[in-house]
Amino acid sequence: MGAERTPVIAGNWKMNGLKQDGLALARDVAAGAGAYRCEFVVCPPATLLAAASEVLVGSGVHLGAQDCHAEPDGAHTGDISAAMLVDAGCSHAILGHSERRADHGEDDATVLAKATAALAAGLTAIVCVGETEAERDAGQALDVVAAQVAGSVPENATAANTIVAYEPVWAIGSGRTPTPSEIQAVHAHIRSAIAGRLDGGAAAAMRLLYGGSMKPGNAAELLAIEDVDGGLIGGASLKAEDFLAIAQSCP
Ligand code: 13P
């Protein structure tokens, strides 16, 4: 982790959390967060965003959504615009998570449009990239993530308004992770792809998160990797104790 980049510990709750347990989790994270030097983001399901924003007031913990629509308003039944997320108290939004790319057929152009809308509304975009197991086995991991960065990170992205998360699809929820040297190789490649798309200064300062089976037991090793600037955590973000224990491992 570069000393000049403040680490980000972000929790993607996915489709988990009803009012009682979800808000208790947000409250516990808020209560514990002050003790750490990293930035925290929690991304509950859309149904809990407005209430979670009340719980997080004054804690310094940022609130993120898990998606947004590319259009500002209109006839898009069931969808939520970036401005609506801001209105509900969000400062961040995850875009292009592999589960949305797979479940909802989101391609790079869709993710780019959503990320562009998020930035226009003043949100920080957390843009996700990552290869499938077949792509890794075929030796294509670096090419796949570079193409996803080129296709999904907006041209007006900066280190202040955009975070990129590397989440190998095969590591999500599986208990398996790439080796530290494999992760470093991908993160360094992502940083150079960002330098190619934006500029070297933005690339050097942008936070790159690792996601995929990060937990208290492996966080110290993963967060010590040079170009890993934090984590995007799924399963282990659902218990405040585990989520905060990961933050404890930030160097
Ligand atoms: P897990 O931490 O459960 O592997 O999920 C990672 C993820 O998809 C975060 O967005």
- pLDDT tens for residues 140-155? 999 999 999 999 999 9
CA atoms of 178 and 197, how far apart (whole Å): 26
pLDDT at res. 46: 98
Ligand 1: centre distance to CA 223 (Å): 15
Place of tokens 């208990």: 175
CA distance 43 to 236: 13
Q: How do beta strands 39-43 and 208-210 pair? A: unpaired
pLDDT value of position 251? 78
**How far apart (Å, rounded) are the C-alpha atoms in residues 127 and 77?**
24
State residue 4's pLDDT score.
Answer: 87
Planar angle of CA 200, 201, 207, nearest 5 degrees: 100
Is 233 close to ligand 1, i.e. is its CB under 6 Å away? yes
For residue 153, the model assigns a pLDDT of 98
Q: Is the CB of 127 under 6 A from ligand 1?
A: no
Q: Which fold has domain 8-12+36-239?
A: TIM Barrel (3.20.20)
In 3D space, the residue among 177, 193, 180 whose CA is nearest the CA of residue 144 turns out to be 193
pLDDT of residue 37: 86
Q: Which of 92, 97, 187, 189 is catalytic?
A: 97
Q: How much is the pLDDT for 3?
A: 64
Q: How far is CA 30 from the centre of its chain?
A: 19
Closest CA to 157 of 131, 195, 213, 210: 195
Confidence (pTM): 0.98
175 CA from centroid of ligand 1 (Å): 10
Confidence (pLDDT) at 101: 97
Residue tagged active-site, from 39, 167, 187, 189: 167
Nearest CA to ligand 1 atom 5: 234
Q: How far apart are the CA of 14 and the centre of ligand 1, in A? A: 9
Q: Give yes or no for a contact between 130 and 146, defined as CB atoms under 8 angstroms apart.
A: no
| β-pairing verdict for 92-95 and 124-129 | parallel
For 10-42, how does the pLDDT look when each residue is reduced to its tens digit (9 = 90+)?
999 999 999 999 999 999 999 999 889 899 999
| Residue segments in the chain with a per-residue pLDDT below the cut of 70 | 2-3
Please say if 97 is a catalytic residue.
yes
pLDDT at 119: 98
